[in-house]
Amino acid sequence: MRIKGCVLTLVAFGAASVLFAAPRLAYPPGGIDLGEIPAGEPARGGCTLVNAGDATLKVSQVKPCCGAEADLSDMEIAPGASATLAVALKPQLPGEFAKTVRLYCDDPASPVVAIPILGRAVENSNPDIAARFTVPAVLLAGLVDGFNPCSFAIMISLVGILAIGGRRRKARIAGGLAFCAGSFLTYVVMGLGLMQALRALEGLRTVRTVFMAVLSLALFVLSFLSFRDAVRFRKVPVFTVVTLKLPEGVKVLIRKIALESWSGPAVVLAGLGCGFLVTLLDALCTGQVYVPVLALVAREPGAWRSFALLIAYNLAFIAPLVAVFVLFSGTTDAFRMAKWSSRNVIPAKIALGVVFALLGIVILVV
């Protein structure tokens, strides 16, 4: 009887052990510390996960937070065994960062385990080849966009409006430079806002990849249309054959704003205000280059580097417009100004076609 009782006890104990066996996931309490890494550079790290329980641990899903990637070497971990969790991310801006990887498993005590990923991104003092190529691409794009026929047509129209108003040459130059300053500041503010929105896509890998692919395709289409505009304008030198241009209604609205803005005595203040309003409308045309450039600049490592590139682009963009105001401030010959503007269309369209193609390639490479 006693032996029989002992056997029954052992059987019951074994059954209870099997019945109540459970897995338990153990990981380093500090999570994964990547230390200091250059901003804009991919970083990798990992940690070892151990099954400290007495049943096989099954992981159903590994879910990293935005901007990170994660991979688990084994989704089923035997009791006492381990698996390696590998993570990768690419911080764009300098500063401390804290992300997490969530593991969904059958640990009854912790069915969802959040493992922290910590580190600090520092300024990148050695950008890669693609990043170095971005600087001349941004400057070239800004300069060519400044010669955009849309912008030139507006500049010629504004110079004519100042001349018709009976302003002296100094007043025309002052009003023109104020207009350029207002346009510059408006583009910078717009650029900062758009860069923040584009940076938000960095955490959404799939969305960002699709956006960049669509943007690159759109640039190649714009390149074709720009080259086609140059061919069409050479055959028939009238603006009605040009595809990439401001709608006529927008041009009429710009002239109306300019006439009303410069009707008073405060030509400088009027120029600043006119520059702001006209720039918002002209962005329908110049934004074809500006948005792709911002997509490149937003991916640059370091906030100061991105800001410097933004300023450099807008300085390059505004330089030809300043030159137009200064050069034509001494004439009231509208026919001469219009003829000079029309001579600019073909080379400007060819240059824009080249820039669109280059930006499309750079966006795919960077």
Cα atoms in the 13 Å half-sphere on the side-chain side of 176? 31
Output the CA torsion sign for 213, 215, 217, 223: negative
Domain ranges of the chain: 25-122, 129-365
Cα gap 48→85, rounded to integer Å: 6
How far is C-alpha 159 from the chain's CA centre? 34
Give the three-class secondary structure for 247: coil
8-state DSSP, 35: E
Model-level pTM? 0.61
Burial class (CB in 10 A: 0-12, 13-18, 19+), 324: buried
Q: What's the CATH number for 25-122?
A: 2.60.40.10
pLDDT values of the chain reduced to their tens digit, one per residue, 366 residues: 555 555 445 444 444 444 557 899 888 888 888 888 887 777 888 899 999 888 999 999 998 887 788 888 888 999 989 999 999 887 766 778 888 899 999 988 889 999 998 888 877 655 554 456 677 888 888 888 887 777 777 777 777 676 665 567 777 777 778 888 888 999 999 988 888 887 777 656 677 777 778 888 888 888 898 899 888 888 888 777 777 777 777 777 777 777 776 666 677 787 788 778 878 877 777 778 888 888 888 777 667 778 888 899 999 988 888 887 777 666 655 556 666 666 777 888 888 888 888 888 877 766
Cα gap 109→80, rounded to integer Å: 17
Q: Where are the beta strands (DSSP E) in the chain?
A: 25-26, 32-38, 43-51, 57-64, 68-72, 76-77, 82-89, 95-105, 112-122
